[in-house]
Chains A and B, each alone.
Chain A
Amino acid sequence: MAVSKAFSIEDGNLGTKPFVVAQQQTYTDIDLTFTPKPSGDLYKKTDAADVKQSVKNLLLTNYTEKPFNMKFGGNLNDFLFELDTDIDVDLMADKIIQAVDQYEPRAQVLSVNANLYPQRNEVVVTVQFQVLSTSELVVLDLTLTRLR
């Protein structure tokens, strides 16, 4: 029989969410690399890997890319067209938190760290978030660079 438990707010604000002691595969998604198994079927992503893929997909999506949902995405590529002196790391963090908060209810961002590498025209963003259903901490590194 499942037991309902709750985390404190400090530990992840799971106040009303049930927590299942016996961990189950809550989330199952298609693997966006579309790598085929030897059987010909596609691989799946499950649980934290699934959420991680979703967050990555969300943050790397630009505004207007998703049909009929123009404000979907992190729109991080927008920052690549700013001067390196003008890039506001706090603003970038806000955008990431806001996007995850709005479109990925399975995760909560704990921290965002962005490093500029002007000589390589690159921004490396490290997002640490928690998968709410399992409390698992996940670190996602994104390297934003212009294609040309």
Chain B
Amino acid sequence: MATSTVKSSDLDFNNIKARLKDHFKAKAEFSSYDFEASGLSNVLDVLAYNTHVNGLTANLALNESFLTSAQLRSSVVSHAQMLGYQVRSRTAAIALVNISVNLSGVSNRPPKLEITAGKQFTSSIDGVTYTFRTRETIYASDDGTGLYVFKTASDATAIPIYEGVEKTKTFIAGEKAERQVYIIPDETIDTSTADVAVFSSVSSNDFVSYTPLSLAIQVDKNSTHFSLHESPNGFYELNFGDGISFGKSPEPGEKIVVTYLSSSGSDANNGTIFNPSTGITVNGVEYTVSCTTDTESSGGDAKQSIESIRQLAPIAFASQKRLVTSLDYKAAIESNFPQVSSCSVWSGDENIPIDYGKVFVSINFKSGTSATVQQAVKDAIVNNYTTNLSVMSIDTKFVDPQYVYIELNDNFQFDPGLTGLTLGAMETQVYNYIRTYFNQNLRDFGQIFRKSNLMTEIDALDKSILSNDIDVKVQMRFDVTLNISNTGTLYYPVKIASPDDVFHRIQSDTFEFNGVAAQIKNKLKSSTLQIFDLDGNVLLDNVGGYSPENGTVTLTGFNPSQVISGNTYVKINVLPQDDGKIEPLRNYILVLDAGRSSATARTDRQTPSLKVNV
């Protein structure tokens, strides 16, 4: 029914125009609204376009008003800042190097040498040269032979060097009546490297160092803190206290000097060779500095992504800078350590076995993060966060991620009449898709495998795939020491299928037992594990058992003389009770065992013209 009321809340241009036409249909004055070339149609175009643009603008503006729906980085950052969340800037790659100078044979050697902060090193990565530098003064003592090994103030010989160009910005504090914000027009700043010094006058050499507000334990009128956060245009703003009750503010005429590293982010990761750009001068003579790499450069990263901010800002707000729940730990760790890809945290009462009074943290580090850096990150988590912010008497315990491998065999019906691809090519395509699916959707804590989702996506891969089904097995790896009795339990994240009188539920890969190639399988109709030769003869009647309900496989007295694959572990796969969903718990991460997965096509011609009626 025609209406004279124009509904203007539609977003679609054609709908809006149709409603305007409805409006004119109800009026007698004009009848040419329905012809595209008519003058009235042109007027309707303008009206509809105006409504369309206004509607879209209102819609976009409203979307940008909420953290969960905002699309622009400036909006997401602004919402996060309203929650008190510190958005991570670009971070500089850090390498650990050992630095020494050999002055043997040099007369009048000084007992100590010192290299001030800023000593530069260059490293070539993918054909591009990056500059690294020390950020603290390092010292070395003569060992008696003339060898000087440099150490940090904390007595470590592994000296951290940071990638980046040191930049300085100088501001003169303005009138106090106005709130001063100092802009640093640089998107490459690593805010964690910023040092702020406030000089009492332009010509003065006396200064007061200000420290980051994020590290403040207490703030009063005498606190000297600064905050450096991202502004809407991607640059950075330097803020101080209000000068009254919430931290000091530089007085008018005082000079503010900010030094920071402008870094290349992740591009400078994986540097392995670092060459000092200059030597060290002793008694007017320059000597070569020796530099060996302790740990390759890592930890360089781009600005925190929008999605990461969206995920972590509310959690960080909920934690209120305290570590109480598992999400508090997750937010603190993932926000502050760019080396961390993701982490999983659970309490001792959720652990197997139960261990009260502890918080378990498992960290999935980004690839290329060395063991030294991983340990440094764990130390920093304990020293900077859990010790200060967690509930008293709760200890933090780190555990490595536990990989659970999935073996998939996809069987699909293939109609060659609907594609130009051969059967083999389609099998390869499906197999590659399964690998891609795992890489994109799993390989992280808490990522659940749902069989039906993957099957649906494989069905949609090509119209020549008529249907498909997937056989799923869950595999874990039992570490073995050869020629001794090995005992242990594997905890699978699924319930295992009950024993059957035809099929084995448990099966290992091949190893050598008493000089015979053998496999572990469960005894038919039993949960007892036995060792079989490849012809199915029992070599050992009992090597452990499995619990279908608990999802555990226990090996007792397992004594292989060789693992045929050459690995130091034996793969043991189980048939899950319910293969529709595999949910990793705690520190489990699901990974595809690509070598034991496959895609198999069966020709199934559905094209009508090719059907033969018998």
Fill in one digit per residue for A23-61: 1 if any B CB lies within 8 Å of its CB, else 0: 000111111100000000000110000100111011001
Q: Say whether B385 faces chain A, with CB atoms less than 8 Å apart.
A: no
Q: Write out the residue numbers on chain B whose beta carbons fall within 8 Å of the beta carbon of A69.
A: 36
Interface residues on chain B, size class? 10 to 19
Query: Chain B 559-591, CB within 8 Å of chain A: the 1/0 string?
Result: 000000000000000000000000000000000
* Nearest chain B residue, comparing its CB with the CB of A25: B31
CA distance A34 to B38 in the complex (A): 14
B384 sits at the interface (CB 8 A)? no
* Residues of chain B in range 22-56 having any CB-CB distance to chain A below 8 Å: 29-32, 35-40, 42-43, 45, 48-49, 52
**In whole angstroms, what is the CA distance A103 to B49 when docked?**
20
The closest CB in chain B to the CB of A56 belongs to: B37
CB distance from A104 to the nearest CB of B (A): 5
The answer to whether B42 touches A32 (Cβ under 8 A) is yes
A67 contacts B39, CB within 8 Å? no
Q: Complex: how many Å from CA A29 to CA B30?
A: 6
**Do A32 and B30 touch across chains, with their CB atoms under 8 A apart?**
no
- Contact, CB under 8 Å: B40 / A29: yes
Chain A, interface size category, equals 20 to 34
Measured CA separation A28–B49 after assembly (Å): 23
Chain B residues near A66 (CB, 8 Å)?
Answer: 36, 42, 45
Distance A22 CA – B31 CA, assembled complex (angstroms):
18
Q: Which of B30, B37, B48 contacts A103 (CB 8 A)?
A: B37
Q: Is B337 an interface residue, CB under 8 A from the partner?
A: no
The CA-CA distance from A104 to B14 in the complex, in Å, is 19
Q: Does A105 contact B (CB under 8 A)?
A: yes
User: With a CB–CB cut-off of 8 A, which chain A residues contact B31?
Assistant: 26-29
The chain B residue sitting closest to A73, CB to CB, is B37
Question: In the complex the two chains form, is A28's CB within 8 Å of B42's CB?
Answer: no
B interface footprint on A65-82 (CB within 8 Å = 1, 0 otherwise): 011110010000000000
Task: State which of A30, A31, A45, A106 has its C-beta within 8 Å of the C-beta of B35.
Answer: A106
State the CA gap A61–B43 with chains docked (Å): 14
Q: Do the beta carbons of B45 and A67 come within 8 Å of each other? A: yes
Q: How far is the CB of A122 from chain B (nearest CB, A)?
A: 24
- Evaluate contact between B40 and A30: CB separation under 8 angstroms: yes
Residues of B within 8 A of A32 (CB): 39, 42
Contact A68 B37 (CB under 8 A): no
Within residues 365 to 406 of chain B, which ones have a CB less than 8 A from any CB in chain A?
none
* Contact A54 to B49, CB < 8 A, known contacts A68-B14, A104-B37: no
Do A50 and B38 form a contact, CB below 8 Å, given A66-B45, A67-B49, A68-B14?
A: yes
Q: Is B13 positioned at the interface, with any CB of A under 8 Å from its CB? A: yes
A31 to B36, CA, bound (A): 15
Binary CB contact string for chain B from 235 to 256 against chain A (1 if under 8 A, 0 otherwise): 0000000000000000000000
Expressed in whole angstroms, the minimum distance between the Cβ of A70 and any Cβ of chain B is 13
Chain B residues, Cβ within 8 Å of A57 = 37-39, 42
Interchain CB contact under 8 A, A67 and B13: yes
Measured CB to CB, the nearest residue on chain A to B33 is A29
User: A99-118 CB contact bits vs B (8 Å, 1 = yes)?
Assistant: 00001111000000000000
A55 B37 Cβ-Cβ under 8 A: yes
Q: B48 near A67 (CB under 8 angstroms)?
A: yes
Closest chain B CB from A95 CB (angstroms): 14
Chain A min CB distance to B564 (Å): 66
Q: How far is the CB of B89 from chain A (nearest CB, A)?
A: 42
Partner of A53, one of B29, B39, B45, B52: B39
Distance between Cα atoms of A31 and B39 in the complex (Å): 7
Report the Cα distance A104→B40, complex, angstroms. 13
The answer to whether A28 touches B37, judged by C-beta atoms less than 8 angstroms apart, is: no
User: Chain A residues near B52 (CB, 8 Å)?
Assistant: 67
Interchain CB contact (< 8 A) of B43 among A28, A30, A58, A106: A30
Q: Which residues of B contact A26 (CB under 8 A)?
A: 31
- What is the CA–CA distance of A53 and B40 in the complex, to the nearest angstrom? 11
Determine whether the beta carbon of A103 is less than 8 Å from that of B40.
no
Nearest-neighbour CB distance to chain A for B44, whole angstroms, equals 10
List the B side residues contacting A44 at CB < 8 Å. Answer: 29-30
Given contacts A32-B39, A45-B39, contact A54 B13 (CB under 8 A): no
Task: List residues of chain B with CB within 8 A of the CB of A105.
Answer: 35
Per the bound structure, the CA–CA distance linking A54 and B48 in Å amounts to 19
User: Which among B14, B32, B43, B52 has the highest number of chain A CB atoms within 10 Å?
Assistant: B32
Set of chain B residues within 8 Å of A31, measured between Cβ atoms: 39
Q: Are A29 and B32 in contact (CB under 8 A)?
A: yes
Contact B36 A72, beta carbon cutoff 8 Å: yes
Docked-complex contact B36 and A50, CB < 8 angstroms: no
CB distance from B127 to the nearest CB of A (A): 45
Measured CA separation A55–B41 after assembly (Å): 13
Given contacts A66-B45, A68-B14, whether A29 and B36 have CB atoms under 8 Å apart is no
Task: Write the chain B residue with the least CB distance to A27.
Answer: B32
Q: Considering the chains assembled together, what is the distance between the CA atoms of A72 and B35 in angstroms? A: 12
> With a CB–CB cut-off of 8 A, which chain A residues contact B39?
29-32, 45, 53-54, 57
Contacts of A27 in B (CB 8 A): 31-32
CA distance A27 to B37 in the complex (A): 13
Chain A residue with Cβ nearest B46: A67
Known: A27-B31, A106-B35. 7 other contacts (CB 8 A): A29-B32, A45-B39, A50-B38, A67-B13, A67-B48, A104-B36, A105-B35
Q: Give 8 nearest A-B pairs by CB, closest first.
A: A58-B37, A29-B32, A54-B37, A32-B39, A67-B49, A104-B37, A103-B36, A54-B38
- Which A residues lie at the B interface, using CB under 8 A? 26-32, 44-45, 50, 53-55, 57-58, 61, 66-69, 72, 103-106
Question: What would 17 A/B residue contacts be, using CB atoms closer than 8 Å?
Answer: A27-B31, A27-B32, A30-B30, A30-B43, A32-B39, A44-B30, A54-B32, A54-B37, A54-B39, A57-B37, A58-B37, A67-B48, A67-B52, A103-B35, A103-B36, A103-B37, A106-B35
